[in-house]
Homo-oligomer: A and B are copies of this chain.
Amino acid sequence: MLDERKASILRAVVEEYIQTAQPVGSGHVAQAPGITVSSATVRNEMAALEGDGYLVQPHTSAGRIPTEKGYREFVDALTQPSLDRTAAQQVRAFFDQAHGEIEQMLADTTRLLAGLTTYAAVVVGPPHEAAAVRSVQLVSLAPHVALFVAVLGNGVVEKRTVDLGADADEHVLGQAGAHLAGEVIGQPLSAVATGAPSGEPAVDAVLVRVRAAVAAGDDDHEHVFVNGTSGMAASFDAVETVRSVLTILEQQLVVVSLLRDVVDRGLNVAIGTETGMQPLAECALVVAPYTVDGEQVGTVGVLGPTRMNYPQALAAVAVVGQRLGHRLSEG
């Protein structure tokens, strides 16, 4: 454990480094608010902090930079920060005005978060399979093609185009739809795959196709929304870093499992290698799960450089996650 003085020196270093991106020297720290000792004393303490692995020198006779361990300590020592007035206002305004369609709202939420933090924002939507089916319908689109539409209790609509292989008239489609509705309403969507035949040959032909189509799309990744990559890009000065981060963010499955993994470890913040992804070594991830009716159904997060503004990011993610959960609980 760090003593009080070491802790405040570490804090000063991290805060200045976050602002300037330059190695910070003992002189600057000595002048920082909350530091009452001389630069010489600071030097001694900084040497000790370096010995303990909280700081590093890029080269002898340069200032110091926080290590992952240093950031970790800094973050752990943060008292739960709160948003500044205008940002809180912005969040409030957003969720007051938020309306309409769930996916649109999640996408807009990433915009909000990206705007609040100037980093890349990520929102993982509620898993589709979880919710109970509220309504099922089969709609004819073209001679051999129908669309299976299921409305889930959380407002998500699942759809699959179904190649029927042969003509099916409206009547048969209607019957098949009604049969499916009887089977799966109130059940999770996966129940579609395992239902019984109806007895009517024409209807059963359709049912087989539909069940196959639904099952095929069943390992449907959860939906991920990403935004603010431009802000993320601005935080790095090596284009190669930007490129590798973009590569990660483009792989939805990877993003989902990354966030889930961090949340499962009970973390709010994953710094550098803590993310478990080597291309994110220079990044930090701040996340918060959100709950609907007391159940964790998704995650919001921001991805930025390790030298991100943690207090701001933590506050933004926490507030947005909480508000989003409330909003979704309302329906």
Residues of A bordering B, CB below 8 Å: 99-102, 104, 134-135, 137, 139-145, 147, 149, 151, 153-155, 157, 159-161, 163, 213, 216-217, 227-230, 233-234, 236-239, 242-244, 246-247, 250, 330-331
Contact = CB atoms under 8 A, between A and B. Distances in A.
Contacts of A157: 147, 149, 157, 159
6 contacts: A100-B213, A141-B151, A145-B330, A161-B331, A227-B250, A229-B246
Chain copies in complex: 2
Contact of A242 (B160, B233, B250): B233
B243 A233 contact: yes
Nearest to A111: B250
Nearest to A110: B250
B151 A161 contact: no
Given A101-B161, A141-B151, 7 more contacts: A145-B155, A145-B331, A230-B247, A233-B239, A233-B246, A238-B239, A242-B242
Contacts of A139: 134-135, 151
Contacts of A143: 331
B230 A250 contact: yes
B246 A230 contact: yes
A134 B142 contact: no
Contact of A250 (B102, B104, B229, B237): B229
Contact of A239 (B137, B151, B239): B239
A52 B230 CA distance: 37
B137 A137 contact: yes
A242 B147 CA distance: 40
A153 B141 contact: yes
A316 B207 CA distance: 38
Nearest to A163: B99
Q: Across the A-B interface, give the 8 residue pairs with the lowest CB-CB distance, nearest first.
A: A142-B331, A145-B331, A230-B246, A230-B247, A233-B243, A135-B139, A139-B151, A239-B239
Q: Which of A144, A149, A154, A238 has the most B CB atoms < 10 Å from its CB?
A: A149
A151 B149 contact: yes
A250 B233 CA distance: 13
A71 to B, nearest CB: 22
B100 A144 contact: no
A161 B134 CA distance: 14
